[in-house]
Amino acid sequence: MPDLTLTDVAKRFGDNTVLHELDLHVRDGELFTLLGPSGCGKSTTLWSIAGLHSPDRGTIAFGERVVFDGQKVDLPPEKRNCGVVFQSYAVWPHLDVAENVGYPLKLRKVGRRDRAARVHEVLELVELDHLAARYPHELSGGQQQRVALARALAHPPDLLLLDEPFSNLDAKLRERARDWLRTLQQRVGVTTVFVTHDQDEALSMSDRIMVMEQGRVRQVGTPEEVYQEPADLFVADFVGTVNVLPGTAAAAREGVARVWLEGLGEPLSVPTGEVGDVKLAIRPEQVVVHPPGAGARPNVVTTKVLSQSYLGDHYRYVVGLGASELVVRTLAPVVHGSELTIELPPAALRVFPIA
Amino acid sequence: MTATLSPTPGARAPGVGRARSGRASARTTASHYLIWAVTLVLVVGPVVPIVVASLWTTPLYASGGEPTLDNYATLLSDAAWWSAVGSSLAFAGLTTVLSVVLGVGAAVLLSRTDLPLRGVFAGVLVLPVILPGLVLIVGWMAMWAPSGYVSSWLEVNTFLSFPIDLYTMPGMALVATSVAAPIIFLFCRTTVLAIDSSLEDAARSSGAGPLRALLSVTVPLLRPAILNSALLVFAVSFEVLGLPLILGFSNDITLVSTYLYDHWINSAPPEQGLVSAGAVFLLACVSGLLVVRNRLVGDAERYTTVTGKASAQRPVGLGAAKWPLTVLVALVLGVLVVVPLAGVVLMSFTSLLTPLLDPWTVLTLDNFRSVFDNPVWVDSIRNSLLIAGVGGLVATVAIAMISVVAHRSDFRYRGSLQQAVLWPRMMPGLVTGMAFFWSFAILDPSGAVRSSLWGLGLAFAVRSLALGYGVFYPALAAIGQDLDRAARTSGATWWQATFSVALRLSAPAMAACFVLLFVSMLNDSDPAVFLVTDKTPVMGLTMLQLAATSTGGAVAAFGVIQMLITVVVLGVGRLVLGRRIHA
């Protein structure tokens, strides 16, 4: 399987720049996810790779094979040898399952016997070989999606491209499909680019994630890196939930700065070199809840409970922290009155300068 | 890597491509340009010679001549011309008003109330749109003309009489209304059925009675549909030729179309420059009106689809008004549709239709015999079937090709293609005919094309493009573009993807398009006025010429044959298209 390299790819629609000089490299056999809100350019990127959109400039190469290079090279989609699974699945309604999967092979003039064998092989892979003679309208959404996947894998492709393939499945099915697809991708070992706006999908399936916003790359990293060490507030906020607290940092001593939050008497100790107006970010599950009267320690604050709710697998509190509101998540119930003692562990606090 | 991915079966995509910039290959692009150029030449091209002819001193087939504005000067200083324009405006206005009243009333009554027999009524109401229009006029004359069968019967046997003389302006407008009202009805019914019934329910829960809710919510929501269809009806009534030629003749009521017809056919030598100038004027007026209409409605009707909501609507109870209204609707439809159609049939099977004789005593098949004994009429039928069959097929294929290039490709000028295919809708039939007449005169001085059926067929086909497109395009638009894209990424070229997916899935729409084009080309008459030769008579024009000069039983028999072919084709089409593929 080749790797995939995009260099300096840019695309505008009229006045609207949807991709700013995008560089990205997907390693051989990797499952690489483009994550971002709608309109961030992730689908445009995917379609540019597939050949369904022409970028304005830049180069796209599958291994050594250049498929797009500014005005010089622009291979049409049929010459790129990608397998694409569309959001709508795009399973052809007039062909049965086997014919759908066999179509790319037919175009490549694979003989009847080889074709049947390969179709059977791929359908077995997606666990649909018993439904080969069915028509798409006789299949469930999940089954249609697997037909689309089988078709995308049939030729076989140099690259597998997935455009929000789970968005039309219900929540339960989606989780199962995720695990299943990840296992399958690892078995086949095909280099895969996956587009989604769902952070859970991205975190649970990817080798690496690229977070995009408004046509720009915000961060590239493993799921752990992106979640635990977000490059900026956007990434922190988009991937997972985060509390953002405006504050003012004084010059650091021995790597630890004191940060004053508005309306809060005591400053917080935060490991940072930033000075001046900053934003602190902490994830709700990283806030530690203490029993009432848990002595005075750094970054331990007694707060007023504004609301609380029970969500089955966890409790969620909203507390007043100075002038800000803070969301706190805890697994065990806490006995408390109208106040909650919480700790903001310095290691869990991330500091971002105000842009 | 595991064993699952065996070595690539078949060819691997080639190395670095030398493909031109853009996603279509050079060959695909070339084919797109070809389709585009042919379409523009056939659709817009023919208008050019009309304009030139109107600005030239001699006919274009004669040599010499020089540019002139005389034709326009003569036209604009002719009092008869201006009176024709005035009459056309009056006729179109009156027809539009009558049609809106009838069409909107019918749309609401027949689709939203519990009126008994509303399904049957709706079926009868739309008959005139389906059947050849000229035949209906023959029926009107047979039954409702001052000397007609039913109007004289009423006068002889009752104190009633038919209040309107068909050979006057109101009479002509009434006949035109029987064809135009169903157009308004169809437009408005689509909207009525698509209106979310929760809007009416909201009015009901605010305290309005069912009828009140219908009148205060649904009817106002119809305004765009009414405006849209009313402008269409006005434009069509402004240019129509057949009806004023047949009915306006005896009282010398001249409309724009008959003025042009007269100065071409009946004056010696034909005043072709003058008529061309008039045609340019007519084209400008009608196109202008339809451009206004498109602006106003954003061509929305092409995207209107009947949603599944109809079943959720509860019919509104009419209460005590139910039976009186039923009688009224039956009466109106009886006068406008049933009696004229019955008239044609009755006339075709009798030797003399008069209230003084019992029709059963004068039954005969002589009329049909004389149709088949007349070589011109038999030729007309054969020619029309040929043109409708071959032309309908060619036009359907053309529409499918143009639509896929216009809507499913990256072709640079696909926008202009979308406009071009709608353009014939703005061309009066008379103007289309003249456009092709002049084009053939210039491009083919030998007259070979014109004297064959190909010339006439081509004009009919171009004229029907917009109609067929209107049927085909919504079906094409309903096919998700991802289906094409999936084929492209699987390795199909643009044409391969188009044929194996988009066109394959829209095959039923193509069949429907063919049936419609067949019927429309079978009965079309106006473009033939200028194009017809002794060797190429067609049914529509033969009927027009006959109806304008006589009302004999043979004409009715000819009309019955025309109706029969139409009904059979539509019936077969419906039967065949009833079988849907899985989708």
Cβ of residue A80 closer than 8 Å to a chain B Cβ? yes
Question: Which residue of chain B has the CA closest to A117?
Answer: B9
B330 inside domain: yes
B408 and B273 fall within a common domain = no
Question: What residues of chain A, 241 to 270, have a C-beta less than 8 Å from chain B?
Answer: none
Q: Where are the domains of chain A?
A: 4-238, 243-353
Question: Nearest residue of B to residue A160 by CA position?
Answer: B489
What's the gap in Å between the CA of A63 and the closest CA on chain B? 11
pLDDT at position A295 is 65
Q: Provide residues of B within 8 Å CB-CB of chain A.
A: 1-2, 4-6, 8-25, 480, 482-483, 485-494, 496-497, 500-501, 504-505, 581-583
Interfacial A residues in 156-175 facing B (CB < 8 Å): 156, 158, 161
3-state DSSP of chain A: CCCEEEEEEEEEECCEEEEEEEEEEECCCCEEEEECCCCCCHHHHHHHHHCCCCCCEEEEEECCEEEEECCCEECCHHHCCEEEECCCCCCCCCCCHHHHHHHHHHHCCCCHHHHHHHHHHHHHHCCCHHHCCCCHHHCCHHHHHHHHHHHHHCCCCCEEEEECCCCCCCHHHHHHHHHHHHHHHHHHCCCEEEEECCHHHHHHHCCEEEEEECCEEEEEECHHHHHHCCCCHHHHHHCCCCEEEEEEECCCECCEEEEEECCCCCCEEECCCCCEEEEEEECHHHCEEECCCCCCCCCEEEEEEEEEEECCCCEEEEEEECCEEEEEEECCCCCCCCEEEEECCHHHCEEEECC
Question: Do B154 and B216 belong together in one domain?
Answer: yes
- What kind and span of H or E run contains B370? helix B366-373
Q: What are B75-118's pLDDT values in tens digits?
A: 999 999 999 999 999 999 999 999 999 999 999 889 888 888 88
What are the backbone angles phi and psi of residue B108, rounded to the nearest 5°? -75, -50
Residue B412 inside a domain? The answer is: yes
**Which structural domain, as residue segments, surrounds residue B47?**
26-55+387-539
B378 in any annotated domain:
no
A4-238 CATH, one of 3.40.50.880, 3.40.50.300, 3.20.20.70, 3.40.47.10: 3.40.50.300
Nearest to A88 among B15, B482, B500 (CB): B482
Note whether A107 contacts B13, CB cutoff 8 Å. no
**Pair (B285, B163) in one structural domain:** yes
Distance from CA of A67 to the nearest CA of B (A): 6
For A:33-62, CB contacts with B below 8 A are 50-52, 54
- Are the C-beta atoms of residues A288 and A342 closer than 8 Å to each other? yes
Residues B399-417 pLDDT 10s:
999 999 999 988 888 888 8
Among A52, A78, A189, whose Cβ lies nearest the Cβ of B2?
A189
Specify the 3-state DSSP secondary structure of B315: coil
More reliable by pLDDT, B211 or B254: B254
B137 shares a domain with B266: yes
Whether A252 and A321 have beta carbons less than 8 Å apart is answered as no
ipTM of the modeled complex: 0.84
Whether residues B50 and B127 share a domain: the answer is no
Confidence of residue B318 (pLDDT cuts 50, 70, 90): confident
What CATH number is attached to the domain comprising B273? 1.10.3720.10
Establish if A315 touches chain B: CB-CB under 8 angstroms.
Answer: no
Q: How far apart are CA B240 and CA B95, in angstroms?
A: 12
Q: Which of A77, A93, A187 sits opposite B488 (nearest CB)?
A: A77
Q: From the list B4, B480, B582, which residue is nearest A88 (CB)? A: B480
Instruction: Choose from A62, A107, A135, A147 for mutation: most chain B CBs within 10 A.
Output: A107
Q: What's the structural domain count of chain B? A: 2
Helix extents (H) in B320-365: 322-333, 339-348
What residues in A contact B13, CB-CB < 8 Å?
Answer: 65, 75, 79-81, 158
Residue from the list A1, A105, A137 with its beta carbon closest to the beta carbon of B9: A105
Task: Residue window 269-308, chain A: list those with CB within 8 Å of chain B.
Answer: none
Residue B441 lies in a domain: yes
Q: What is the pLDDT along chain A (355 residues), one digit of tens a residue?
A: 789 999 999 999 888 889 999 999 999 999 999 999 988 999 999 999 999 988 999 999 999 999 999 878 899 999 999 999 999 899 999 999 999 999 999 999 999 999 999 999 999 999 999 999 999 999 998 899 999 999 999 989 999 999 998 888 888 888 888 999 999 999 999 999 999 999 999 999 999 999 999 999 999 999 999 999 999 999 999 998 899 999 998 888 888 888 988 888 888 888 888 888 999 999 999 999 888 766 667 888 888 999 989 999 899 999 999 888 999 999 887 777 788 889 999 989 999 988 6
Q: Is residue B123 part of a domain?
A: yes
Residue B266 has pLDDT above 70, yes or no: yes
Answer yes or no: do A88 and B24 touch at CB < 8 A.
Answer: no
Three-state DSSP class for residue B443: helix
Residues B49 and B110 in one domain: no
pTM equals 0.82
Asked whether residue B228 falls in the same domain as residue B102, the answer is yes
Distance of CA A116 to the CA centre of its chain: 36
